[in-house]
C-alpha cells in the first residue's frame, strides 16, 4: 500500500494548528455556532490522514491517483477544512472564508474537487456507500488509490451505513478504511443511552477487520494506518476519542455538540491549547 | 447505434420495457466501455443475464439494498464511468429517495437511474410495488432529467441518449410484456423535445409512457365522433418542452394529460404549473391514477379501475369537451 510519509512531529504540529484554527473559526462564526465537540474529537485522525498517510498532491487536489477521503460525519466539516489548510491544499485565506453565506466552505461541506473536498455531507449515513463505490471503482479501473471514510459513532445508528458495510467485505475491498469516531456522545446524550449497540462485534460480524485505537494518539494512528490491510478485507478503525478534546470545559460535555463560542471562553480555550496564539484578525 | 428494424422492434415489444432495457444496455455497453450496470438483485428481471455473461466485471449487484446501489453508482460516476442503476421504480425512487436526492440531485453525479415496472406494471404484486409517485418526487429534486418512454423502441433511444447526455437522468419504465408499438420505424429522439404523433384541430392530448399508445387509440375513437385531437408524446417530463405546448395553447380548446402516474405532481402537474403562468389558456383535463390506494389486481384491471383504457380516456375527454360548449 502506498501511503504518505509524514512524521509524528509533523502530524502533532498539524493537530495543534488545526485545533487552534477550529477555535478561531468558531469564534468568527459568532452566533451561528459550530460543531465544536465533534470537530475536536477528530483532529488527530484528520491530521494523521492528511499530513501523514494519504497520498495527495497539495498543488493538484484532483490528481487522479490521489487517495480519497470521504467525511461522512458532517459535524466534522470545520475540522476537515483545517486539515485541508494544514496539509497545504487550501490557503489560510481560503480557510477563513468558512461559513460565509454562499461560500465554498459551508458548515456542512459541499463537494468541491478544486479544494480537495470529495463529498457533500450533512445527511448522516451516506458516506460509506459512496466510499465503498470509490474503492470498488478503483478495483475495476486499476487506478491504485486508497479510500478513507470517517463516520461518527452516533451516525452508525443509520441503517444506510450497514448496506455498504455488507458490500465492502463481499467485494473484498482491502483498499477501503473506515474510521469510526467513538466519542460516545450524540445529540441526545450518551450513545449507550440513546441506542446501545455492540459496534465492534457488528463490524466484525459484517466481515471487517476491526482495529481499536486511541484516536488522539498520533503515533498509534500512524502505525495502524500504515499496516498492510488483510488481503481481501476492508478494515474499520474504531478510534476512542473525547468529544471536545483539548479544551477542558468542552471535553465530554455534550453542550458543546453545537454551540457559539463567546470571546471570553475562546480566550480560555486558546490558553489551554497554545497559551500564546493570537486570535485571527477579523478586520 | 442500435439497429431500429422491424425484427428488433417486434422482439423488444414482446419482451416489454424491463427486459428490453437489459438488451439495449448490452448493445450500448459493447460500444462504450464506460457503461456499467448496478442493480439491487434485479439483474434477471431487467434482462441483464447476457450483459452479465459478456461483461461480468461491469455488472455490480448490491443485493437487495437500493440505497447502497445509488451510492455505489454515484461513486462510479465520479470515477468517469457511466452507471445505470437499476431497480423497481417503487424502490429506486421511494426506498432510495434521499440517496437519489443526495447523489444525483445535490452532488450531480452522472447516474442514470432506471425505475423498472412503474405505474401498475407490477400487477398482482400489489400496492407496495406499484409506483404512482416517482415523477412527482424526482420532479421536485433539482437537476435530474425525467424520461418516460412511450414504447420499447423509445426506451432504446432514451437509453442511448442518456448515455450520451452528461448529467443525472431518471428513466421510468411502464407497461408489461407485449408492450404496444408506437414507433414502427427509426426516428429522431432528443431529451427534452416532445414529439407530435398526430395533428388535430380541436383538442390536444399530451401523454407519456404507456399512455401514449392508449391516447392514440382514444384519439381514433374521438375522431369518429367528430372530435379532432392532436396527440403528443411527452417522453421527457423534465425539462418540460414548453415550446411545443405553447404552440397548442392558441389553437386548442382543451388540453388533456394522460399518464400512468398519480394525477398529483406528475405530467399533469407539470403542465398545470406551466399553464398557470400563461394568461389565456385552454381548460386542462388531467387523467391518471386516482389519489388513493385501491384493491390490487392485474395490469389491465388496474388501468380500468383508473379509467386509463382507450375507450375510457375517449369517454372522459368527450364529456369534458362537450361540457365546454
Contacts of A128 in chain B (CB under 8 A): 71
CB-closest option in A123, A136, A166 to B102: A123
Any catalytic annotation for residue B66? yes
Instruction: Report CB contact under 8 Å: A133, B65.
Output: no
pLDDT bin (cut points 50, 70, 90) of residue A3 is low
B89 in a domain, yes or no?
Answer: yes
Say whether A160 and B68 touch across the interface (CB within 8 A).
Answer: yes
Q: Is B184 within the bounds of a domain? A: no
pLDDT, residue A275, reads: 62
Closest-CA residue in chain B for A139?
B57
CA–CA separation, B23 and B26 (whole Å): 5
Domains of chain A, earliest start first: 8-273 (3.40.50.970)
Would B120 be classed as within a structural domain?
yes
Instruction: Please identify, among B172, B205, B232, the residue that sits at the C-terminal boundary of a domain.
Output: B172
B163/B235 same-domain check: no
Residue from B217, B219, B131 nearest B180 by CA: B217
Instruction: Decide if A130 and B67 are in contact by the 8 Å CB cutoff.
Output: no
Assess contact for B224 and B290: CB atoms under 8 A: no
Closest CA in chain A for residue B67: A160
Closest CA to B20 of B59, B41, B51, B60: B51
Instruction: State the nearest Cα–Cα gap between B69 and chain A, in angstroms.
Output: 8
Mean pLDDT of chain A: 94
pLDDT in tens, B53-82: 999 999 999 999 999 999 999 999 999 999
Q: Please state whether the predicted TM-score (pTM) of the whole model is above 0.90.
A: yes
What CATH code is carried by the domain that includes residue B20? 3.40.50.970
Q: Does a structural domain hold residue B180?
A: no
Is the domain of B32 the same as that of B161?
yes
| DSSP assignment letter at B175 | -
A185 CA: distance to closest CA in chain B (Å): 25
Q: Is residue B29 located within the same domain as residue B149? A: yes
Last residue of a domain, one of B172, B207, B226: B172
pLDDT recorded at residue A1 = 38
Distance from CA of B98 to the nearest CA of A (A): 9
Q: Please say if the pLDDT value at position A5 is more than 90.
A: no
pLDDT at A19: 98
Residue A73 to residue A75: CA distance in whole angstroms: 5
Search chain A and give the residue with CA nearest B72: A133
Q: Indicate if B133 and B216 belong to the same structural domain.
A: no
For B13, the domain range is: 6-172
CA atoms within 13 A on the CB side of B252: 26
Q: Are residues B30 and B151 in the same domain?
A: yes
Q: Cα–Cα distance between A107 and A244 in angstroms, integer? A: 17
Cβ neighbours of residue B178 closer than 8 Å, sequence gap 6 or more: B13, B14, B16
Asked whether residue B256 falls in the same domain as residue B304, the answer is: yes
Give domain status of residue B190, yes or no: no
The CATH code of the domain that includes B319 is: 3.40.50.920
A64, A113, A130: best mutation site toward chain B, by most B Cβ within 10 Å?
A130
User: Do B151 and B255 fall within a single domain?
Assistant: no
Same domain, yes or no: B158 and B29? yes
Q: Is residue B267 part of a domain?
A: yes
Residue of chain B whose alpha carbon sits nearest to that of A131: B75
Angstrom distance (rounded) from CA A86 to CA B34: 36
Which of B319, B244, B314 minimizes the C-alpha distance to B283?
B319
Q: For chain B, what is the domain count?
A: 2
Clarify whether residues B93 and B168 are in a common domain. yes
Q: Per the domain annotation, does B177 fall within a domain?
A: no
Q: Is the pLDDT of residue B104 over 50?
A: yes
Partner-chain residue, chosen from A131, A141, A166, that has the shortest CB–CB distance to B63: A166
Residues B151, B217 within the same domain: no
**Cis peptide leading into B223, omega within 30 of 0?**
no
Nearest to B97 by CA among A33, A4, A160: A160
Name residues whose C-beta falls within 8 Å of residue A162's C-beta, 6 or more positions apart in sequence. Answer: A202, A206
Q: How is residue B107 written as a grid cell? A: 452532488
At residue B112, does pLDDT exceed 90?
Answer: yes
pLDDT digits (tens, 9 = 90+) for B279-297: 999 999 999 999 999 999 9
B124 lies in the same domain as B13: yes
Cα-based distances in Å from B118 to A54, A68, B148, B217, B292: 44, 36, 10, 21, 16
Residues A61, A94: Cα–Cα separation, whole Å: 15
Provide the shortest C-alpha distance from residue A116 to chain B (in Å). Answer: 14
Of B58, B65, B75, the CB nearest to A133: B75
Tell me: do B136 and B201 sit in the same domain: no
For residue B67, the chain A residues in CB contact (below 8 A) are 126, 129, 160, 163
> Pick the catalytic residue: B66, B160, B248, B260?
B66
Average pLDDT over residues B115-141: 97
How do residues A12-40 score in pLDDT, each as one tens digit? Answer: 999 999 999 999 999 999 999 999 999 99
Q: For residue B201, what are the CA distances in angstroms to B167, B253, B254, B284?
A: 37, 9, 10, 16
Please check whether residue B189 lies inside any domain of the structure: no
Amino acid at each position: 500500500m502506498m501511503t504518505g510519509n509524514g512524521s509524528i512531529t509533523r502530524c502533532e504540529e498539524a493537530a495543534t494548528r488545526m485545533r487552534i484554527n477550529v477555535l478561531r473559526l468558531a469564534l468568527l462564526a459568532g452566533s451561528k455556532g459550530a460543531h465544536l465537540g465533534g470537530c475536536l474529537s477528530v483532529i488527530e485522525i484528520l491530521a494523521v490522514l492528511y499530513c501523514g498517510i494519504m497520498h495527495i498532491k497539495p498543488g493538484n487536489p484532483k490528481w487522479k491517483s490521489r487517495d480519497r477521503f470521504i467525511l461522512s460525519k458532517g459535524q466534522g466539516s470545520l475540522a476537515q477544512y483545517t486539515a485541508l489548510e494544514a496539509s497545504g491544499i487550501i490557503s489560510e485565506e481560503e480557510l477563513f472564508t468558512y461559513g460565509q453565506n454562499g461560500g465554498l466552505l459551508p458548515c456542512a461541506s459541499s463537494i468541491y474537487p478544486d479544494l480537495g473536498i470529495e463529498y457533500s455531507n450533512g445527511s448522516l449515513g451516506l458516506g460509506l456507500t459512496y466510499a465503498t463505490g470509490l474503492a470498488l471503482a478503483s478495483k475495476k479501473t486499476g487506478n491504485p488509490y486508497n479510500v478513507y471514510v470517517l463516520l461518527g459513532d452516533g451516525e452508525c445508528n443509520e441503517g444506510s451505513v450497514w448496506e455498504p458495510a455488507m458490500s465492502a467485505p463481499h467485494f473484498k475491498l482491502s483498499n477501503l478504511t473506515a474510521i469510526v469516531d467513538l466519542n460516545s456522545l450524540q445529540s441526545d446524550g450518551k450513545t449507550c443511552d440513546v441506542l446501545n449497540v455492540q459496534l465492534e462485534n457488528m463490524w466484525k460480524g459484517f466481515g471487517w477487520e476491526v482495529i481499536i485505537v486511541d484516536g488522539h494518539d498520533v503515533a498509534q494512528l500512524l502505525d495502524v494506518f500504515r499496516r498492510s490491510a488483510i488481503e481481501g478485507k476492508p478494515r474499520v478503525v474504531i478510534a476512542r476519542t473525547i468529544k471536545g478534546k483539548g479544551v477542558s470545559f468542552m471535553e465530554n460535555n455534550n453542550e458543546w455538540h453545537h454551540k457559539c463560542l463567546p470571546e471570553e471562553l475562546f480566550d480560555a480555550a486558546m490558553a489551554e491549547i497554545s497559551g500564546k496564539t493570537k486570535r485571527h484578525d477579523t478586520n | 447505434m442500435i439497429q431500429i428494424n422491424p425484427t428488433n422492434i417486434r422482439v423488444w415489444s414482446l419482451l416489454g420495457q424491463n427486459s428490453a432495457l437489459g438488451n439495449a444496455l448490452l448493445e450500448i455497453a459493447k460500444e462504450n466501455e464506460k457503461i456499467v450496470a448496478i442493480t439491487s438483485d434485479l439483474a434477471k428481471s431487467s434482462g441483464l443475464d447476457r450483459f452479465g455473461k459478456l461483461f461480468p466485471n461491469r455488472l455490480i449487484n448490491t443485493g437487495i439494498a437500493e440505497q447502497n446501489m445509488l451510492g455505489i453508482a454515484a461513486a462510479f460516476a465520479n470515477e468517469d464511468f457511466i452507471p445505470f442503476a437499476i431497480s423497481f421504480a417503487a424502490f429506486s425512487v421511494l426506498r432510495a429517495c434521499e440517496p437519489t436526492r443526495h447523489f444525483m440531485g445535490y452532488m450531480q453525479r452522472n447516474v442514470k437511474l432506471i425505475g423498472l415496472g412503474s405505474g401498475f406494471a407490477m400487477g398482482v404484486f400489489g400496492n407496495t410495488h406499484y409506483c404512482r409517485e416517482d415523477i412527482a418526487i424526482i420532479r421536485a429534486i433539482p437537476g435530474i432529467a425525467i424520461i418516460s418512454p412511450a414504447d420499447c423502441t423509445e426506451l432504446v433511444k432514451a437509453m442511448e441518449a442518456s448515455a450520451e447526455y452528461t448529467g443525472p437522468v431518471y428513466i421510468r419504465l411502464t407497461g408489461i410484456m407485449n408492450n404496444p408499438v408506437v414507433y414502427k420505424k427509426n426516428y429522431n429522439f432528443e431529451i427534452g423535445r416532445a414529439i407530435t404523433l398526430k395533428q388535430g384541430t380541436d383538442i390536444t392530448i399530451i401523454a407519456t409512457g404507456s399512455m401514449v399508445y392508449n391516447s392514440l387509440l382514444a384519439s381514433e375513437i374521438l375522431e369518429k365522433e367528430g372530435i379532432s385531437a392532436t396527440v403528443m408524446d411527452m417522453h421527457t417530463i423534465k425539462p418540460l418542452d414548453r415550446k411545443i405546448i405553447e404552440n397548442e395553447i392558441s389553437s386548442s380548446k382543451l388540453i388533456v394529460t394522460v399518464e400512468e402516474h398519480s394525477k398529483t405532481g406528475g405530467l399533469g402537474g407539470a403542465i398545470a404549473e406551466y399553464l398557470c403562468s400563461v394568461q389565456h389558456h385552454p381548460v386542462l383535463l388531467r387523467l391518471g391514477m386516482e389519489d388513493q390506494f385501491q384493491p390490487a389486481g392485474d395490469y389491465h384491471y388496474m388501468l380500468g379501475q383508473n379509467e386509463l383504457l382507450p375507450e375510457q380516456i375517449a369517454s372522459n375527454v368527450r364529456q369534458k369537451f362537450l361540457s365546454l360548449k
